[in-house]
Amino acid sequence: MSVLEEIIAGVREDLDARRARVPDAQIVRRAEQAPAARDALAALQGGRDDVAGVRVIAEIKRSSPSQGELAGISDPAALAREYERAGASVVSVLTESRRFNGSLEDLDAVRAAVDTPLLRKDFIVEEYQVHEARAHGADLILLIVAAMDDARLRGLLHLTESLGMHALVEAHTPDQIDRAVAAGAQIIGVNVRNLKTLDVDPDRYEALAAHLPDDVVRVAESGVQSAAQVRQYARAGADAVLIGEALVRHADPAETLRGFRIASRRSG
């Protein structure tokens, strides 16, 4: 089994347990009754600008399968407020518990704390999780092309949009980008980390950028360790950059985020 398959097996077990507590009909109702979703697509569109630099999706992540524990993050709401003040366009909240030590409670706490659009970062493979994301205040969800077939990708994307949310559709190869486009993705993330092996190759964004159509929002995901890397992604045409580890590991995540954005200004 690849790392991705192992993670998804655990995610499905945890999902079954939640589903036994909150049945399908109830989660559908909660999603319908939630306040309207914020427009994450609009928040990410437009690429870097002269003054503020590239758009950033700032991630709240305690642990990862490749690094183990990254940061304690006892107060995810406080970290989200810092990200918001530092100009994050979207805040990403890991909700997977086994490998990333996140939860839907984290998403609830962050939702109550900020107005910025929120990404539910998880391994979403069932419709239930899409309703659940909306019920807990998400505006954007992650759909990983490598985790599903085309019919499921289309179905989950359609459901996401019918609930007023958008999907960040994650690809790692030219073939996966083609599948994302064919499914109707409006926001495509190139993850430079291979989820089957966890290897990271930041040059991969630039190598695949030419394969991304002009009319989608382009997101470079993973592997940012420095301002220079953010600049490289922005110069290769990324509208937004998704950053986790480098922010949460830093003593002052907000200052780090501001520095990264300034370094990626068009004039820089």
Ligand X SMILES: O=P(O)(O)OC[C@@H](O)[C@@H](O)c1c[nH]c2ccccc12
Q: Which residues are catalytic?
A: 59, 61, 121, 170, 191, 221-222
The residue from 125, 239, 245, 264 that contacts ligand X (CB under 6 A) is: 245
CB 118 within 8 A of CB 137: yes
Compute the least distance from the CB of residue 59 to ligand X, in Å. Answer: 5
d(CA 266, CA 268): 5
d(CA 159, CA 168): 14
Site string for ligand X, 167-196 (x = CB under 6 A): ---x--------------------x-----
Distances (CA, A) of 86 to 51, 163, 189, 221, 255: 14, 29, 22, 19, 7
- In terms of CB distance, is 34 or 172 closer to ligand X? 172
- In terms of CB distance, is 216 or 242 closer to ligand X? 242
The C-alpha angle 132, 85, 252, rounded to 5 degrees, equals 100
Span of 8-16, 25-33, 36-44, 222-230 interacting with ligand X by CB under 6 A: 222-230
The reply on whether position 239 binds ligand X by CB under 6 A is no
- In terms of CB distance, is 111 or 121 closer to ligand X? 121
| Cα Rg, the chain, nearest whole Å | 17
The residue from 63, 160, 222, 256 that contacts ligand X (CB under 6 A) is: 222
Pairing of strands 140-144, 63-64: unpaired
d(CA 173, CA 175): 5
The reply on whether position 91 binds ligand X by CB under 6 A is no
CB 261 within 8 A of CB 238: no
The residue from 80, 177, 224, 227 that contacts ligand X (CB under 6 A) is: 224
The reply on whether position 242 binds ligand X by CB under 6 A is yes
Give the three-state DSSP class for 212.
coil
The reply on whether position 253 binds ligand X by CB under 6 A is no
Span of 75-83, 128-136, 209-217, 241-249 interacting with ligand X by CB under 6 A: 241-249
- In terms of CB distance, is 59 or 82 closer to ligand X? 59
Compute the least distance from the CB of residue 120 to ligand X, in Å. Answer: 11
The reply on whether position 244 binds ligand X by CB under 6 A is yes
Alpha helices in 163-263 (DSSP H): 174-183, 203-209, 227-235, 245-248, 253-263
Tally of CB atoms within 10 A around 265 = 16
Site string for ligand X, 134-153 (x = CB under 6 A): --------------------
Residue whose CB is nearest to ligand X in the complex, by number: 244
Q: Cα 151 vs. chain centroid, distance in angstroms?
A: 22
Among residues 186, 182, 221, the alpha carbon closest in space to that of 200 is found at 221
Site string for ligand X, 54-73 (x = CB under 6 A): -----x-x------------
Residues found near ligand X in the complex (CB under 6 A): 59, 61, 121, 170, 191, 221-224, 242-246
